[in-house]
Structures are given as C-alpha cells and as structure tokens.
Amino acid sequence: MKLRSAIYLASAALALAALTLAGTLPSGAADKVDPVADAKAFRKFFTDKFPKVKLEDFVNGPYSMNEDLYRQWQDKEQFPPYEFSLEMGKEMFSKPFKNGKTYADCFPNGGIGIRQNYPYFDDKEGKVITLELALNRCREANGEQPYSYVRDEMAALTAYMAFTSRGKPMDIKIPDDPRALAAYENGKEYFYTRRGQLNFSCATCHVQSPGERIRAEILAPALGIVNAMPIYRSEWSGMGTTSRRFTTCNSQIRGVPFNPQDDEYRNVEYYLSYVSNGLPISGPGARP
C-alpha cells in the first residue's frame, strides 16, 4: 500500500513538473494550417529516413522496411490471402439491393477506380466522408441495414473498390473551406496526440519507429499506410477495415476506442490520406 502511495505521489510530482514545462514551451497553436507544406515535410521525413526505399514502395508497409520481409511479401502476392475477400466484394458490389439498385448507383463512375478520392470533405455536411461511411450510407439510402465497420462485409466491399483503383495515385482534396482545414488539422492533432495508458500516439509507432520491432511485428511507416487498406492480417487471421485498424490501435495502447466513423477517426484518415497523396493505391494489402 505504501509503495502504491509512493508511486502515486511520484506520478503526481512528475505530472506537475511536466505541466509546468508544457506551459513554458511554445504551443505553436497559432501556426497557420498549411497542408501542402505538411505533406512535403512528411514525405521528406520518410524518404530521408529510408533513402533506399522507393517512394511507391512505402505503401507496402513493413515489407518495404526489410529485405527478407519484402521477399516474403512477393511470394505471398502469388496467392494473396485477401483474394477470397476480393471475390466476395466483387460479388456483393454487383448484387442489386432489394429495390433493384446497386452500389454503382451511389458513386461517381459507378464506383470503379475512385478509391483514391476518399475520404473527401463534404461541404453540405461540413464533415469528412470516408469510403466506409459512404458505402453504409448507400446501403441505408436504398433501404438496407448498414454493415459493421469492422467486419468482413465492409472489408470485402472496400477491398474490391481499392482493387479497381490499384496503381492510381492517392488524390485527396482539401477545399478552401475553413471547416475542411479544421477537419484536416484535427486529424493531424489526433495523429500526434499521445493517448492510452501506454502514452503512445499514432506517430510513436509510425513516425518515430517504422522498421523497428514491437514485439514480433515490424512497424509500418505512416507515409502511404492508408493506401493499402483494407488489409489481410495474419495476426487477425482475416481482413481488417480502416475502422478496425484505428480502433484496435487504440485498444492496444490501452485507450478506450471511439465508435468507428466518429469524427476523430474520419479526420485522422483525411489527414493521413492527404499526406500520402501521389503514392499509389495498393489495397487490398496483406500484413504479417
């Protein structure tokens, strides 16, 4: 009990010291939001850190960080583990709803080859719309129940749509709208904010430590990380959506995850996608 009290006391003292220090540091809160400069600096950071990795290879996550893993990945791509999901998604995509319409009726170009434009900022709603959200809204608009954001059906649909965009450069727009800039900035803040009892931010793993091991895994670089979504993860023995990735990341650092498609997740996907502009869509991907 005494030891616990001592730990609490020490933690409180440390916290107070950190708070005092934080108060003296420049907050930078008044910085101008400049997505173009951010994306340039983001790309430079990773290409400087990994000069041997080709820019387009960053989308292959941990496989781009390690030669042995890269070879394993090339072998894996001969019989990709996401193939079953791709087939399922293709079938689901073309199967009409009860009212006779299909997903193609909800999307530009019939939903083919458009993955690289998601998420986008919707000026009517004033919020970020992700592909997963747009798919469920399409279902609901056509009288169907929405799918779970973290389960196989959503992974299959997004896998198929990503596949039809393979090789196309990510092309996220930030309109000249203060609400869009705020969504982008909030996404950035979320990405760099430490949370959970382990005191990790997204950047702790994917900026500070890509290529390093965390337990048995090799961490992926943040540059291009969303271009490969959705992914088959051997650890999950199945497919995972972007929503699944975000919520499990939160749990793993002992933070209570939000609901999939809450504003925080939509905004962080917007930020991560924007700073990965120009890198090819590689989804669906496979990860260890």
Partner 1 sequence: MRNTTLTSALILALFAAGATSALAAGSEDDFKAAYAAAEAANKEAGKLRNQWTTTATTLAAAKKAAEAGDFDKATASAKEAEALAKASIFQATSEKTRWKDMEIR
Alpha-carbon distance 212 to 141, whole Å?
44
Binding of residue 3 to partner 1 (CB under 8 A): no
Q: Could you tell me which of 166, 235, 246, 250 has the C-alpha nearest to residue 200? A: 250
Instruction: Indicate the burial class of 280 (C-beta count within 10 angstroms; 0-12, 13-18, 19 or more).
Output: buried
Given the complex with partner 1, which of 196 and 238 has the nearer CB atom?
Answer: 196
Binding of residue 258 to partner 1 (CB under 8 A): yes
Other C-beta atoms within 10 Å of 282: how many?
22
Can you tell me which of 6, 10, 13, 18 binds partner 1, judged by CB under 8 A?
Answer: 18
Planar angle of CA 32, 185, 14, nearest 5 degrees: 95
- The minimum distance between CB 64 and partner 1, in angstroms, equals 18
Q: Residues 148 to 207: which contact partner 1 by CB under 8 A?
A: 188-189, 192-197, 199, 201, 203-204, 207
Binding of residue 94 to partner 1 (CB under 8 A): no
Please count the residues of this chain forming the interface with partner 1, following the rule CB under 8 A: 37
- The minimum distance between CB 211 and partner 1, in angstroms, equals 16
Given the complex with partner 1, which of 160 and 265 has the nearer CB atom?
Answer: 265
Binding of residue 288 to partner 1 (CB under 8 A): no
Other C-beta atoms within 10 Å of 218: how many?
19
Given the complex with partner 1, which of 26 and 100 has the nearer CB atom?
Answer: 26
Q: Could you tell me which of 135, 146, 155, 130 has the C-alpha nearest to residue 262? A: 130
State how far the alpha carbon of 235 is from the alpha carbons of 56, 160, 288, in Å. Answer: 25, 22, 6
Q: Which residues, in sequence order, are CB contacts of 101 under 8 Å at separation 6+?
A: 142
Binding of residue 24 to partner 1 (CB under 8 A): no
Catalytic residues: 249
> Which residues here bind partner 1, judged by CB under 8 A?
1, 4, 8, 11, 15, 18-19, 22, 25, 27-29, 31, 38, 41-42, 45, 188-189, 192-197, 199, 201, 203-204, 207-208, 251, 254-256, 258, 264
